[in-house]
Amino acid sequence: MNIYSKLSDWQKRGLITAEQQQKITDYENNVRRPMLYHALLFLSCFCIGIGVIAVIAANWESIPAAVKLGVDFALLCTAAWGVWHSRRKGRNLASEALLTAFALLVLGSIGLVGQIYHLPAHGLSALLFWSVLTFPLLFLSSKPLFPGLWFIGFFLSLYDRLSDYRWFADFIDRLFDRNANFGIWSGLFAMLVFYRLLQMLPHPAIQKAWRHLTVFAFAFCAFVLDAFSLKDWSYFRTDNVSLGWTVWGLSALALAGFAFACRKTSLRPGIAAAAVIFVYAFLTDMLPAWEDETSALMMIALLSVAGIYAYRHNYPRLLNVSTVLIALRFFGVYLEVFGSILSTGMGLIVSGLAFAAIAVIWQKVRRRLLHNVGEKNHD
């Protein structure tokens, strides 16, 4: 339903007056952007850029090294001036875009110098060097774009560098050999602890970037743990030896201590999600034969955490999505448990009635929750 249909429906329901509807319609008509014009401009710039790159690539070997370095230095200076000028004019979005472009130009400059002077590269050492050079730029950023890219590049290159040391490689192998689920939980818990440390810095853009990465990591790992059995993957081979009560006890104490220290912070949903994954890892260690059942319970519990967070903080869209996914996961559990009865006529009838009951119950619960969220927003 487009904006005009919504306005008409709202006016019929008495939510807005006819005069308000007309004013909103006039406003929308005046601010409509020429999408085709901007799309053609973007296509034009894209074609020109690709053409310039193609011409340079075709004549790359014949271009003198001094010219390459000179053009690269000029681009760096132009981007740096653009960042300074945009910040002085208060154009935060342009400043952030140019800051990201400048950082990427620094990475390209490292590659250019290495190519011209035939410098050897080892793994992701160039990316780690770039992370060190561009670290001060984090404190100039006002948006999470560049900090997010920097975090990804830094930790990937740092992991690659640490993997060269035998002690680190052996530690990772032993961790995942015993229980891959516990290894994944350890990484997610470390991300939460690091986020708590970042909250002590007066830089919201850095905190927001890491928060987005942490939420994505939790969501991605939850999907992988629920959709796949890691014990069947050759990389996540498991020797069926329990981690032992000492490891589990110390890990539980660490999680409990962190939860107590952060009981009055915004980290409570993340800690609850980490606790759910910790319990799942523990159950798969103690009851490996029940991994499929516990993974379903883990996913439902994580979606419930997201739904509770959305309900308490008045996010109706997140609440809607989480409740839909919970219903679908229950549907998946039903198919896994009673899938065989779908081959008979009576089984299909019973299944249809069960699905209808689930749909009705879910719709009633969803409407009640969304109604309560709407009342909170109104208050």
Close Cβ partners of 19 (under 8 Å, ≥ 6 residues apart): none
Return d(Cα 37, Cα 293) in angstroms, integer: 53
Kindly report the number of other CB atoms within 10 A of residue 172's CB atom.
14
Mapping DSSP onto H, E and C, the string for 115-135 reads HHCCCCCCCCHHHHHHHHHHH
Q: Which segment of 127-136, 148-157, 174-183, 314-323 scores lowest on mean pLDDT? A: 174-183
Residue 377 predicted with pLDDT over 60: no
**How far is residue 152's CA from residue 161's CA, in Å, rounded to a whole number?**
14
For residues 180-193, average pLDDT = 88
Q: What is the pLDDT of residues 255-276, one digit of tens each?
A: 999 999 888 778 888 999 999 9
- Dihedral angle, C-alpha 144, 276, 281, 237, nearest 10 °: -40
The least confident of 21-25, 62-66, 285-289, 371-375 is: 371-375
Q: Which residues have CB under 8 Å from 219's CB, separation 6+? A: none
Question: How high is the pLDDT of residue 338?
Answer: 66
Burial 84-108 (b: 16+ CB within 10 A, else e): eebbeeeeeeebbbbbbbbbebbbe
CA distance 285 to 298: 14
Question: Which residues lie below 8 Å from residue 259, measured CB to CB, with a gap of 6+?
Answer: 268, 271, 275
Q: Which of 195, 234, 196 is nearest to 214 (CA)?
A: 195
Digit-coded pLDDT (tens) for 299-339: 889 988 888 888 887 777 888 788 888 878 877 777 776 66
How far, in Å, CA of 190 to CA of 221, rounded?
14
- How confident is the model over 45-100, as pLDDT tens digits? 778 767 766 776 677 777 788 888 888 889 889 889 988 988 888 877 788 888 88
Distance CA(119)–CA(97), nearest Å, equals: 30
Long-range residue pairs from 183-191, CB within 8 A, at least 24 positions apart, any chain: 184/221, 184/224, 184/225, 184/277, 184/281, 185/274, 185/277, 185/278, 185/281, 186/251, 187/217, 188/214, 188/217, 188/218, 188/221, 188/274, 188/277, 189/254, 189/255, 189/258, 189/274, 189/278, 191/217
pTM over 0.95? The answer is no
Query: Of 50-64, 200-214, 226-240, 333-347, which gets the smallest average pLDDT?
Result: 226-240
Q: What is the pLDDT of residue 157?
A: 92
Reply yes or no on whether the pLDDT at 286 is more than 80: no
Nearest CA to 238 out of 249, 246, 230 is that of: 230
Selection from 373, 363, 295, 293 nearest residue 324 by Cα:
363
Q: What does the block give as tokens for 14? A: 């008495």
How much is the mean pLDDT over the chain?
A: 80
Per-residue pLDDT band at 13 (split at 50, 70, 90): confident
Q: What pLDDT does 191 receive?
A: 92
Side chain identity, residue 19: E
- Spatial separation of the C-alpha atoms in residues 359 and 365, rounded to whole Å: 10
| Residue owning tokens 């390459």 | 68
Residue 288 token pair: 């490996």
The pair of structure tokens assigned to 303 is 């979606």
Given a contact cutoff of 8 angstroms between Cβ atoms, the answer to whether 27 and 14 are in contact is no
